[in-house]
Amino acid sequence: MGIIIEAKGLTKTYGKRAAAFTALRDVNFQIEEGETLAIVGKSGSGKSTLMHLLALLDTPTHGTIKIDGIAASRLKGRKLNKLRNQRFGFVFQQFFMNANDTVLENVMLPLKIGKVNRFKRKKLAMEALKTVGLEDKAKNKATDLSGGQKQRVCIARAIVNNPKVIFADEPTGNLDSGTGDKITDLLFDLAKKQGVTLIIVTHDEDLAKLCNRIIRISDGQIISDQTVRSDYQAKASEKREKEAARVRKANK
């Protein structure tokens, strides 16, 4: 599997002169295709900043990002838009939905931008909503949803275009453990079955443990980067064993 994202000497400074604040300092790492990566750290450590840079939503003050070996600074206009529209999926920490539009319209937005025809975009959006268990809220206004429902709509929107890379900033932050687990299962299933690269920003250690790689940052710098056999893999086999045990019991 190839390297999909490469970060070299990433530095991000917000503001100017006296008000300048360096949120990210000389960050270097590579992400391989199909990896599940957790970016963990305290609040204000620069996790979201890093994710925005990796997703090409923002430009670094110094350093370079390469996508499939091509420097992001060379990706402009049409190519960049196509990348954002077809290969990336985002879940923002603050959701960012068009409050006055319906849930369905919000989920359809990436497809509408990608010029998918009306019929098909509706069908795909409904499927995505079904995946997150919100198909009955399709016609509701986005503002009328609860926090957890909004988060799920955002996840539906991130997966609707069948992306190769999903960037998720605190995807389970507002969910109860039951719903959270369902969403987590969904994301990791996509990663496993379709080879989607998953980049999750979280301060939830349990969620982080499900990933096969954990990058810890503090004050804008990487303090550890470990690749492990994820809990998710362990959990999955555990689940399978439990299921088998249950079946065995039932058969007795």
Q: Cα(first)–Cα(last) distance of the chain, in Å? A: 44
* 40: its two tokens: 């963990």
By CB under 6 A, name the one of 7, 38, 46, 171 that touches ligand ATP: 46
Out of 43, 100, 146, 251, the residue judged to bind another protein by CB under 8 A: 100
Query: Minimum CB separation from ligand ATP for residue 47, in Å?
Result: 4
CB atoms < 10 A from the CB of 207, how many? 25
C-alpha atoms less than 13 angstroms from C-alpha of 159 in its C-beta half-sphere: 25
113, 223, 228, 234: which one binds another protein (CB under 8 A) = 113
C-beta of 80 vs 126, nearer to another protein: 80
Could you tell me the CA-to-CA distances from 188 to 18, 54, 108, 161, 224 in Å, in that order? 43, 20, 23, 17, 23
Amino acid identity, position 110: P
Contact 36, 211 (CB under 8 A): yes
Binding of residue 98 to another protein (CB under 8 A): yes
The CB-of-90 to ligand ATP minimum distance in angstroms stands at 14
Within positions 63 to 82, which residues make up the interface with another protein, using CB under 8 A?
77-78, 80-82
Instruction: Give, as ranges, the residues between 150 and 189 that touch ligand ATP (CB under 6 A).
Output: none
Residues that bind another protein (CB under 8 A): 52, 55, 57-59, 77-78, 80-86, 90, 92, 94, 96-98, 100, 109-110, 112-115
